[in-house]
Amino acid sequence: MDYGPEKLAAIKKAFERNSRAVQLRPAIAQNTAITKVSARQGITCEIEEGSWKFKVDMGEKHGGNNSGPNPGIFGRAALGSCLAITYVTWACKFGIPFESIDVEIHADYDTRGFYTDEGIPPGYRQVTYVVNIQSDAPAAEITRMLDDADAHCAYLDIFANPQKMKRKVNISTMEIAS
C-alpha cells in the first residue's frame, strides 16, 4: 500500500480542516444526497448520482441479466469501504502508523425472506466485520482508535441503527395507442 508520510499528512490535514469547518458552520454539513435508480431490461438497474453511473443486477438464476453486482454486494461494499476509510482517517488523526488496513464483511442471510411469506425478515440475520491491521503501534492504541472510528462511521451507524424511512409515490398513467 502507498501510505507514505505525505499521503498520511494530507489525510490528517483534510480531516482537521473539514472538522473545523463543520464546527464553525454546521449548516455546510447538512445536505440531501439524491441517487436515481431506474429499472431497465427486467431487473437490471441503472444508477446515477452526480457524475457516477453504474449498474446493479441480479444473476440469471434470479431472473436478472448478470450485468452488474447485486444490491447486497454494493450494500456490503458501502459498509466495508466506509469502515476502511474511517479507520485510515482516524489512524492518521491519532498518528497511528500502519502498513495496511483491510475490512471483510460477513453477512448471514436467508433468502426465504425475499421469496416466501413465512415471516422471515428479508435482511441480514447478522453482520460481522473483520478488521485486519498491520501496524507496529500498541494494541491498546489501535483498539482505542477503532472504537473511536466505529463511533463516527456513517455506514456502521446506518447498518446498526434504524433509520427514518419515508416512501413517496408518483403514479402516471400510460396512454395506450389504438
C-alpha 156/C-alpha 90 separation (Å) is: 15
Positive or negative CA dihedral for 138, 139, 143, 146? positive
The DSSP letter of residue 176 is: P
pTM to 2 decimal places: 0.91
- Residue 53's contacts (CB-CB under 8 Å, 6 or more residues apart) are 46, 47
**What is the bridge-based pairing of β-strands 100-109 and 52-56?**
unpaired
For residue range 122-154, list pLDDT tens digits in order.
Answer: 999 999 999 999 999 999 999 999 999 999 999
Do 98 and 134 contact (CB within 8 A), yes or no?
yes
Positive or negative CA dihedral for 81, 86, 87, 92? positive
**Residues listed for the chain:** 178
For residue range 81-100, list pLDDT tens digits in order.
Answer: 999 999 999 999 999 999 99
Instruction: Give the closest residue to 90 by CA, choosing from 151, 20, 145.
Output: 145
Cell 396512454 sits on residue: 175
32 exposed, middle or buried (CB, 10 Å; 0-12, 13-18, 19+)?
A: exposed
What is the block-wise mean pLDDT of the chain (178 residues), using blocks of 10 residues?
Answer: 82 95 96 96 96 96 95 97 98 95 97 93 95 97 98 97 94 81
